[in-house]
Amino acid sequence: MRLTCPLCGPRDLREFYYYGADTWLRRPAADAPPESWDDYLHLRDNPAGETRDLWYHEAGCAQWLAVTRDTITHAVHQVDLVAAPKGGVK
């Protein structure tokens, strides 16, 4: 399994730090009920098949990446930057 970072190109898995399902991007509002926080922090769809999860390119460009991939075959379909880099890509 390799990830093709939009900034660095195809890179070895060891350069990345796995964070978990992209649920992390949908943080509840500060005054949301406890159930929403439980859901956000702990409950997961945990799909067998296509998933979208967050990886940090720790030993590369230090960007957060949203990776669309298959949990059964380990095929990687798409890698997006979570946030556009400041000043745009040069």
Partner 1 sequence: MGPQAKGVEMRYSGFRVITQGLFGNTGWKPAWRNPAPKAEYDAIVIGGGGHGLATAYYLARNHGLTNIAVLEKGYLGSGNIGRNTTIVRANYFLPGNSEFYSHSLKLWEGLEADLNYNVMHSQRGVLNLFHSDGQRDFFARRGNAMINQGDDAELLDREGVRRMVPYLDFEQTRFPIYGGLLHRRGGTARHDAVAWGYARGADQRGVDLIQNCEVTGIDLQNGKVTGVQTTRGAIRAKKVGIVVAGRSSQVAAMAGLRLPIESHILQAFVTEGLKPVIDQVVTFGMGHFYISQSDKGGLVFGGDLDFYASYAARGNLPMVEHVMEAGMTLMPMIGRAKLLRSWGGIMDMSPDGSPVIDRTPVDGLYIDCGWNYGGFKAVPASGWCMAHLMATDTPHEVARRFRLDRFATGHVLDEEGTGSQHNLH
53 forms beta bridges with 21, 67
Of partner 1, Zn ion, none, which one sits near residue 42, judging by CB under 5 to 8 A according to partner kind? Answer: partner 1
Closest approach of Zn ion to the CB of residue 63, in Å: 6
Site for Zn ion contains 7 (CB under 5 A): yes
Neighbours of 79 (CB within 10 A): 19
Q: For the chain, what is the radius of gyration of the CA atoms?
A: 14
Interface ranges with partner 1 (CB under 8 A): 1, 12-14, 18-21, 34-35, 38-39, 41-48, 51, 53, 55, 71-74
